[in-house]
């Protein structure tokens, strides 16, 4: 994969990459490593921390409608069930679950809108 940060005239400063630059499909699996996910700048962040199931999933479903195709949404959730719900939903909707990062007391789940 080419390094988009090398490009001259980048709109982002000091090596920051856009969500679209990070969210390139990789042979049917767009799962990114933890370092890439931590640097990812999402187009929309859904803060569902403190919500019980199915709250985080319902918030994600509402929020994704405002994201353009190719855009990335980050869901913050303290509900462990979200780690199953979001990947299953993305597969059903034919979106891409880019990966999950565990943070202090919550998870960060990344979804690419593909259609």
Pick the catalytic residue from 10, 18, 31, 53: 53
List of residues 6+ apart from 107 with CB closer than 8 A: 76, 77, 78, 80, 82, 83, 100, 101
Active site (annotated) includes residue 53:
yes
List of residues 6+ apart from 51 with CB closer than 8 A: 59, 77, 78, 79
Return the active site residues.
53
């Amino acid at each position: 994969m080419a390094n988009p940060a090398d490009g001259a005239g980048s709109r982002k400063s000091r090596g920051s990459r856009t969500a679209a630059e990070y969210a390139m499909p990789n042979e049917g699996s767009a799962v990114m490593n933890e370092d890439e996910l931590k640097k990812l700048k999402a187009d929309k962040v859904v803060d569902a921390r403190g919500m019980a199931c199915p709250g985080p999933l319902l918030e994600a479903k509402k929020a994704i409608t405002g994201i353009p195709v190719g855009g990335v949404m980050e869901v913050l959730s303290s509900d462990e069930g979200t780690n199953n719900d979001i990947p299953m939903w993305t597969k059903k909707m034919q979106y891409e679950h880019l990966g999950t990062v565990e943070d202090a007391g919550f998870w960060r789940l990344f979804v690419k809108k593909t259609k």
